Amino acid sequence: MTSHDLTSGPVDRRTVVAGVGITAAALTLTAACSSNDSSTTAVASAAPPPGAPAGQLARTADVPVGGGVIVGDTVVTQPTAGKFEGFSSTCTHAGCKVNKVVNGLIECPCHGSRFRLDGTVAQGPAPRPLDPHPVKVQGGAIVKA
Ligand code: FES
């Protein structure tokens, strides 16, 4: 028997079943944690849905007032109703990607920098605002300007 032969005995099969159970539990915990934060904005897919305008980053309805979404290399925010802004998702501290928008702040997971919905620094160590990624509204879509 080799260490890679999973069908050779009952001990190996139990190990595999236990491993699957742990993986399923971990996935359940991950899903539970992410669903509890109602103010967190989902990270949208970079691929636009079929029929969407070329260059669509998000639909206006997907961007909450007082929040934002992260689409690939762009953060799209809506600081006030009907006003959409776009920024690079690259943190100006050391280049990590910001990964969520919570309670009106864009957060970087690496060293704790936070940016306001207008891209300015709310909390360092980031030394300057997020770089602009201009966007515009085209129908119900937000596209790169
Ligand atoms: S890279 Fe974002 S806080 Fe350091």
One-letter amino acid for residue 93 of the chain:
H
Atom of ligand 1 nearest to the CA of 91: 2
For the chain, the domain total comes to 1
With a 6 A CB cut-off, is 44 part of the ligand 1 pocket?
A: no
Whether residue 7 is contained in a domain is answered as: no
Atom of ligand 1 nearest to the CA of 125: 3
With a 6 A CB cut-off, is 96 part of the ligand 1 pocket?
A: yes
pLDDT given at position 41: 53
Q: Give the pLDDT of the chain (145 residues) as one tens digit per residue.
A: 444 444 444 444 443 444 333 333 333 333 333 333 434 454 554 455 566 677 899 999 999 999 999 999 999 999 999 999 999 999 999 999 999 999 999 999 999 999 999 999 999 999 999 999 999 999 899 999 9
**Could you list the residue range(s) of the whole structural domain that residue 50 is in?**
41-144
Contacts of 71 (CB under 8 A, 6+ apart): 43, 44, 45, 46, 57, 58
- The number of C-alpha atoms within 13 Å of 96 and in the hemisphere containing its C-beta is 15
pLDDT given at position 47: 53
Whether residue 30 is contained in a domain is answered as: no
What's the CATH code of the domain at 48?
Answer: 2.102.10.10
Structure token digits, residue 24:
């399923």
Structure token digits, residue 137:
């509204």
